[in-house]
């Protein structure tokens, strides 16, 4: 158990895996998966480890997905891209801009690979991958059967898709189909992009602006271990939201799907966590939603305990119970976060 996963998780945790294998084709992926499953070892697929929290060493096979390939077709009105799941998401965004295929620029500089981006339904600055997804191909690595889901089949929700749920965890996303309109319309709905509203806006300017914002807000994980936003932004009922807004008239919010969406970073910030350091774990000074392994020597359980402290403090203060965005993994695989974050937000 001396195969280090330290550079394969962005929290920079000093944990190991029993077996680590970089995979560049489907045949090898299925061979290894079947071999280790027959021996009753747990198996895990990682892209860049940018949205996971390991609590312990992993006693099984860790597959690093590097199955690559980008294929382009065009119709009269659309660019159609077929992308294998091991491609870097940010490099894909840069590739599309270089080839004058526009639409993904709002999703610039999000870490991870295309497969995990799809599973997570990544989103930022008024855009998400579900807006462009046409289909998803996935495989059962035991039977080697490949299936295709269209956009509706994927059941996309905020930071969620069908592939995050129990019945689909045995499948592995292998490729994604995206469609991008040839008639580009800038997406400037997000409030911080309003400054860009002028006649000279271009996809490259949006890309550059968002990259600059993200570099300022999100620390480099190689310096301070982190997984970006640890919690999702919560949605609550209009009734409950109006009561909170009466109590906290400076509370930022948006109206969405007949609910009030709050900003988890603001809620955490009201609880003074920027002054709190627990076993080398704290929140980022510029964005309280980001939990830092500040000295890169904390344990996974330290980060989890810190997150639970945030969860309980915010919940008790606002009666708003945050949901973790980060996937929690123990020695044998993914853990249901409700084991640790016990109160459901049913609002």
- Asked about 229 being catalytic, the answer comes back as yes
Sort strands 127-128 and 78-84 into parallel, antiparallel or unpaired.
Answer: unpaired
Q: Which of 50, 159, 161, 175 is catalytic?
A: 159
Q: Which of 229, 235, 288, 298 is catalytic?
A: 229
Task: Tell me which residue has tokens 């392994």.
Answer: 293
- Asked about 159 being catalytic, the answer comes back as yes
Using alpha carbons, select from 85, 165, 71, 156 the residue that is nearest to residue 117.
Answer: 85
- The DSSP-derived string for 173-212 is EEEEEEEEESS------SGGGGGG-STT--HHHHHHHHHH
User: Where are the strands (E) in 57-215, listed by range?
Assistant: 58-65, 70-74, 78-84, 123-124, 127-128, 133-139, 146-150, 172-181
CB-based contact 230:289 (threshold 8 Å): yes
Distance CA 320, CA 81 (A): 40
Sort strands 70-74 and 78-84 into parallel, antiparallel or unpaired.
Answer: antiparallel
Distance CA 205, CA 133 (A): 24
- Using the 8-state DSSP alphabet, how is residue 164 labeled? G
CB-based contact 97:204 (threshold 8 Å): yes
- Asked about 325 being catalytic, the answer comes back as yes
63 burial via Cβ count (<10 Å: 0-12, 13-18, 19+)? buried
Distance CA 135, CA 92 (A): 17
Could you tell me which residues are beta bridge partners of residue 175? 84, 137
284 burial via Cβ count (<10 Å: 0-12, 13-18, 19+)? buried
Task: Enter the tokens of residue 154.
Answer: 């994927």
User: What stretch of H or E contains 279?
Assistant: none
Secondary structure of 303-342 in HEC code, one letter for each residue: HHHHHHHHHHHHHHHHCCCCCECCEEEECCEECCHHHCCC
CB-based contact 337:51 (threshold 8 Å): no
Kindly list the catalytic residues. Answer: 159, 229, 325
């Amino acid at each position: 158990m001396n195969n280090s996963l330290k550079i394969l998780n962005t929290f920079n945790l000093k944990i190991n895996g029993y077996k680590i294998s970089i995979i560049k084709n489907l045949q090898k992926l299925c061979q290894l998966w079947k071999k280790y499953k027959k021996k009753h070892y747990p198996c895990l697929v990682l892209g860049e480890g940018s949205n996971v929290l390991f609590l312990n060493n992993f006693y099984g096979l860790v597959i690093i997905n590097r199955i690559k390939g980008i294929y382009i077709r065009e119709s009269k009105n659309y660019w159609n891209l077929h992308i294998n799941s091991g491609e870097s998401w940010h490099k894909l965004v840069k590739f599309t801009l270089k080839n004058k295929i526009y639409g993904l620029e709002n999703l610039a500089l999000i870490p991870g690979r295309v497969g995990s981006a799809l599973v997570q339904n990544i989103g930022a600055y008024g855009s998400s991958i579900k807006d462009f997804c046409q289909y998803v191909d996935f495989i059962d690595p035991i039977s080697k059967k490949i299936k295709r889901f269209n956009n509706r089949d994927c059941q996309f929700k905020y930071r969620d898709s069908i592939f995050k749920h129990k019945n689909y965890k045995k499948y592995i996303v292998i490729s994604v189909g995206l469609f991008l309109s040839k008639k580009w319309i800038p997406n400037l709905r997000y409030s911080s992009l309003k400054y860009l509203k002028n006649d000279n806006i271009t996809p490259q300017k949006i890309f550059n602006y968002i990259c600059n914002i993200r570099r300022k807000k999100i620390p480099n994980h190689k310096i301070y271990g982190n997984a970006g936003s640890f919690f999702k932004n919560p949605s609550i009922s209009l009734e409950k939201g109006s009561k909170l807004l009466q109590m906290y008239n400076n509370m930022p919010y948006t109206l969405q799907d007949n609910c009030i969406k709050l900003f988890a970073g603001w809620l955490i910030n009201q609880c003074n966590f920027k002054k709190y350091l627990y076993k080398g774990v704290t929140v980022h000074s510029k964005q309280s939603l980001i939990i830092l392994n500040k000295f890169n020597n904390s344990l996974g359980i330290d980060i989890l305990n810190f997150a639970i402290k945030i969860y309980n403090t915010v919940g008790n203060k606002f009666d708003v119970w945050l949901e973790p965005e980060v996937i929690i993994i123990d020695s044998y695989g993914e853990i249901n976060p409700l084991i640790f974050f016990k109160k459901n937000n049913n609002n």
